[in-house]
A = this chain, B = another copy of it.
């Protein structure tokens, strides 16, 4: 019985009805539909090359999903038989994994790419954190608790995090005290067991780095490192199964005698971020660079606004972690309490929402009105009009 994977944080999801996306079976296979154009054949060629290339040492092979060839199966969108890559299901055996999908490299396009493709990618690289940071978080979910489920910010918001916000997210990822209240300063309780240690994330990243300093076989563009672990195991004092896996190889090129300096640079940048947490887990600046730590903010337009209290208006931007927001238009709004109005955007994880129009609203309690949008997982909803509830 094939079904949509439960823990997809980025990429093409099959979760929506009638959408093409990956599928998993119960014996640990992950079926990824081949993209119709050159990307599909590129990815097959890469996995085939990787699995047969004796120059890739075993301790590096383990960072890639196992490859079981390709297979025609019924596509998730009901469009009939379609070729799929058959890969290892990386979430197999994981109950509630915390996951980050981190796209590596300040440049997601190859020198050989077409003008049109370069333009498209460059725009995204410049708008996201790829250019300044050398990587971007393409998606993430952090397990909080059975009651609260996952903290799963929107992909667009995740992509554009500033340096300080990325630092915050990387700390929140391995903290215990943000389970109930995202307002708290992350305690980095699992830093040493997840990021640190001889088998931890940092150690794995350093192994990968050593290989990238030397290998001239592949150049990986737009490829991600999937970082995951099980918070519940960490809480119980067990091995949390911290692991990194490389995924997404639709844009792999031959190295032709040159190292993948683009991937390596981004990887080193990520390593530096993780190292800093291990060196000084207590030194987390909560303030973010865009507009930070403001209290009693009256208006905020067109920008990232985070961690404020008593905001009156916020327009056209990402708004996060605030309390007592009066109005928010046209943007992503997450994790707030006591919001009065929110129009045309994604609103998530709030309590005591009075009104929400035209957008996706999830995980809230005590919503009074929600119009024209998707509303999910709520309690005590009074009105929901014209949408899926």
| A interface with B by C-beta (< 8 Å) | 106-107, 111, 122, 126, 131-134, 163-164, 167, 213-214, 216, 256-259, 261-262, 264-266, 268-269, 271-272, 289
Contact of A269 among B134, B164, B261, B269 (CB under 8 A): B261
Given A107-B107, A111-B132, A131-B111, residue A213 in contact with residue B268 (CB < 8 A): yes
Complex Cα spacing A164 to B259, Å: 14
Given A111-B132, A132-B111, residue A261 in contact with residue B266 (CB < 8 A): yes
Complex Cα spacing A242 to B264, Å: 27
Contact B216 A272 (CB under 8 A): yes
Contacts of A213 in B (CB 8 A): 268, 271-272
Complex Cα spacing A132 to B221, Å: 13
Contacts of A111 in B (CB 8 A): 126, 131-132
Complex Cα spacing A107 to B164, Å: 24
Pick 24 A–B contacts, CB within 8 A, sort by A: A106-B261, A106-B262, A107-B107, A111-B126, A111-B131, A134-B259, A163-B256, A163-B257, A163-B258, A167-B257, A213-B268, A213-B271, A213-B272, A214-B272, A258-B272, A259-B268, A261-B265, A261-B268, A261-B269, A262-B265, A264-B264, A265-B265, A265-B266, A265-B268
Contacts of A122 in B (CB 8 A): 122
Complex Cα spacing A263 to B180, Å: 41
Distance of A231 from chain B, by nearest CB (Å)? 27
Contacts of A256 in B (CB 8 A): 163, 289
Complex Cα spacing A214 to B122, Å: 27
Q: Which residue, A131, A213, A264, A265, has most C-beta atoms of chain B within 10 A?
A: A265
Contacts of A214 in B (CB 8 A): 272
Contacts of A261 in B (CB 8 A): 106, 133-134, 265-266, 268-269
Contact B264 A258 (CB under 8 A): no
Complex Cα spacing A261 to B261, Å: 9
Complex Cα spacing A354 to B119, Å: 48
